[in-house]
Amino acid sequence: MAADLSHIRNIGVCAHIDAGKTTVTERILFYTGKNYKMGEVHEGTATMDFLEEEQERGITIQSAATTCPWIRNDKEYQINLIDTPGHVDFTIEVERSLRVLDGAVAVFDGKEGVEAQSETVWRQADRYCVPRMAFINKMDKLGADFEFSFRTIRERLGANPIAVQYPIGSGNELEGIIDLLTRRAYYFDADELGAVVTEKDIPESLHDTAELWRHELIEKAADLDDVLMEQYLTDEDSVTDDQIRAALRKGTIERVCVPVFCGAALRNIGVQRLLDGIIDYLPAPDEVAAVDGVNPRDHDEKLTRPHEASAPFSALVFKVVNDAHGDLTYLRIYSGTLRKGERMVNPSNGKREIASRIYEMHAKDRVPMDEVTAGAIVAVIGIKDSYTGDTLSSPDHPILLERMEFPEPVISMSIEPKTSEDKRKLSEALVTIRREDPSFRSHYDDETGQTIIAGMGELHLDIIKNKLVRDMKIGVEIGKPRVSYRETIKGPATDIRGKFVKQTGGRGQYGDCTINITPFTAEEAEEAGLKFHENVAFENKIVGGSIPKEFIPSVEAGVRTTALSGVTAGYPLINIKVDLIDGSSHQVDSSQVAFEQAGRLALRQAVAKAGSVLLEPMMKVVVTTPNDYLGNVTGDISSRRGMIMDTEDRDHIKLVTCEVPLSEMFGYTTVLRGLTQGRASSTMEFLAYRPMPASLMKEIMEVV
């Protein structure tokens, strides 16, 4: 474990599905000496894709962490690396990885450039302020075009890409790469799996091109540093490589530029230079801002923790994995030191935790550690009551770090155990999966007697089903996937009274509250500084104490539980604000239960008065199709109530971006194959909840 924080890099590899993230990661493990044999995704032997499901499908499903060494300028560095999924159904894995990383390598397909999921990942990295560099991969692919891919980074992502390399050839003629800083060409020996790198002069045919790109590199680097700009304007030739590197590092850490590398991971070209770039341009833990949090006893008191081993201990749980020897809880340690057997506290629930064992992870393999310090990413056994997004800190100096936001599921299905033994095992298994995967939900429907599971897409639920049946050996019957609708209100309703009075002899029950209800959005909640939990805001506006303080949380609890279970059609009620404006109490008969019931009654009456509407999940669908089949694709999209938003030309193919209701998209992949003789592909991600047509709403209501 590197003691010097400046020698640590916590990075993630992320991108669109099939851009080659896992292959890049496998090459990094090989060249850093972590693996003696290269694993291949298409052969099911990739180290980081160690789940049976991942090996069969050839995709990454869960993020995997590893630690590997790299020598740069005779100094040993430690790279803590996380390989993340590209499929949109597992976007939560990317989200929670980016939350704890200091930097990221965004991988792009050399032929396709920026794709739909690339944009999603980029937005997530923006949200968590993660500095990043780009690797244009698959330059050996037929039709690969470095300049096109480079341009899409600028145009589609709005980034400031700065090329530090240029490929020597492309497709089958890819030979190596040119380093634009050093003006040298690098060739990677195929017989030695790319491990032997030969440095030569730039080929004569590419000399002018390289000089043009180098000039642009210096110009853009000068824009990042005022002193360098002055020197550049005076005498461009006096600018040194180290000065350019320093300016790029500063710009990358400040997130105002993105250094761009290139290569072909499958053919072992360019990965060692990418590792050098990770050291040169991505930040060490002590170069990112100190982590912010609040005092758990007083949320108005802001606290910070510097990335230092001597500071009070603080860490964030970003992943929980069920393991035969006890749950593995993955931690990013932000400050302080954690020793084996040491006690910690979870400030959000007050529970004490103990780090029985600490491991440095290498995919599914682990190395025991006695102590770890700030900057480390490790897995701990012994933690019982802390989940993804929870903070762990020193009991003497508690701090509550910012929680992660998890997306709401958009698709659900019923699941029935076959025997009473299966029923017992199923309830335990669902709790385990929920701990591991915060984007998964399950609940028991009292009316139908069914267990309902919900997730981010068909693939997500299919993998959970396989996990239950194949890995956990539970016999279950699966229902058809169903869309998770939502309810909201058409307009405001004011002065709605909810009064709950019950007299049963002896002490009775009395709760009385008056509320206003209005449509509300997450943006409005953020501006107003209100908690928008489950997309519902609640504000106490009572003046004069007409309801005693101790009963106000009960009114809120009644409102929130009713909103969650739905009012009109049994779907969660979202995007509303409830103002508690008045009420009354009884000295003897008032209780928390009575005011909770009053809150329930008030919300039901308010929704009835305001009028409700059903919302359906809309998906952003991007179809890549040859020109010959464009008419078939757009006609089919229109028949699914879809709206074409954009059509982009890419050589002989078209990229069709559209918005389509999820309810119309079940089994779409199979239909698309049939329409295009298997030559088109599509990606789909959740976009927003939108009101559904009145005729369809009536149908859904009748079913309910």
List the domain boundaries for the chain. 5-287, 291-401, 411-480, 487-610, 614-703
Nearest to 69 by CA among 80, 61, 77: 77
**d(Cα 379, Cα 386) in Å, to the nearest integer?**
13
Domain 614-703, CATH = 3.30.70.240
pLDDT at residue 278 in the model = 96
**d(Cα 388, Cα 316) in Å, to the nearest integer?**
8
Start-to-end CA distance of the chain, whole Å, equals 58
Structure tokens at 45: 């032997």
Nearest to 534 by CA among 491, 494, 571, 569: 571
Helices 241-253 and 207-223: crossing angle, nearest 10°? 50
Ordered DSSP codes for 670-691: HHHHHHTTT--EEEEEEEEEEE
**d(Cα 461, Cα 231) in Å, to the nearest integer?**
58
Fold for domain 291-401? Elongation Factor Tu (Ef-tu); domain 3 (2.40.30)
Contacts of 161 (CB under 8 A, 6+ apart): 134, 150, 153, 154, 257, 258, 260
Ordered DSSP codes for 652-665: TEEEEEEEEEGGG-
Which portions of the chain are predicted below pLDDT 70?
1-3, 34-64, 83-93, 324-325, 363-364, 407, 446-448, 504-506, 651, 702-704
Secondary structure of residue 348 in the 3-state scheme:
coil
**d(Cα 511, Cα 287) in Å, to the nearest integer?**
55
Q: Which CATH class is domain 411-480?
A: alpha beta
Nearest to 391 by CA among 383, 400, 382: 400
Identical fold for domains 5-287 and 487-610, yes or no, is no
Nearest to 156 by CA among 575, 641, 622: 622
Structure tokens at 159: 């980034």
Alpha helices in 159-240 (DSSP H): 207-223, 226-234
Residue whose entry in the numeric block shows the structure tokens 């890099």: 9
pLDDT at residue 364 in the model = 63
Alpha helices in 416-551 (DSSP H): 420-436, 458-466, 522-528
Helices 21-31 and 271-281: crossing angle, nearest 10°? 90
Nearest to 619 by CA among 681, 682, 535: 682
Secondary structure of residue 89 in the 3-state scheme:
helix
pLDDT in tens, 208-219: 999 999 999 999
User: Please, are residues 133 and 277 in contact by the beta-carbon 8 Å criterion?
Assistant: yes
> Residue 192 carries which DSSP code?
G
Nearest to 32 by CA among 63, 73, 75, 67: 67
pLDDT in tens, 242-298: 999 999 999 999 999 999 999 999 889 999 999 999 999 999 998 988 888 999 988
Nearest to 106 by CA among 81, 136, 126, 129: 136
Secondary structure of residue 433 in the 3-state scheme:
helix
pLDDT at residue 124 in the model = 80
Nearest to 122 by CA among 139, 137, 104: 104
Structure tokens at 638: 């229109």
Chain centroid to CA 296: 26
**d(Cα 384, Cα 323) in Å, to the nearest integer?**
13
**d(Cα 23, Cα 40) in Å, to the nearest integer?**
7
pLDDT at residue 50 in the model = 36
CA distances, 442 to each of 89, 432, 439, 464, 476 (Å):
17, 11, 10, 11, 15
Contacts of 132 (CB under 8 A, 6+ apart): 103, 104, 105, 106, 125, 252, 255, 258, 282
**d(Cα 277, Cα 267) in Å, to the nearest integer?**
19
pLDDT at residue 62 in the model = 46
Domain 5-287, CATH = 3.40.50.300
User: Please, are residues 42 and 58 in contact by the beta-carbon 8 Å criterion?
Assistant: yes
Secondary structure of residue 586 in the 3-state scheme:
coil
**d(Cα 663, Cα 697) in Å, to the nearest integer?**
12
pLDDT at residue 313 in the model = 95
> What pTM, to 2 d.p., does this model score?
0.72
**d(Cα 465, Cα 454) in Å, to the nearest integer?**
11
Q: Does domain 487-610 have CATH number 3.30.230.10?
A: yes
Nearest to 77 by CA among 269, 281, 255: 281
Residue whose entry in the numeric block shows the structure tokens 């690396």: 81
**d(Cα 363, Cα 65) in Å, to the nearest integer?**
5
Q: In what order do the strands lie in the sheet with 197-200?
A: 165-168, 176-179, 184-188, 197-200
Contacts of 587 (CB under 8 A, 6+ apart): none
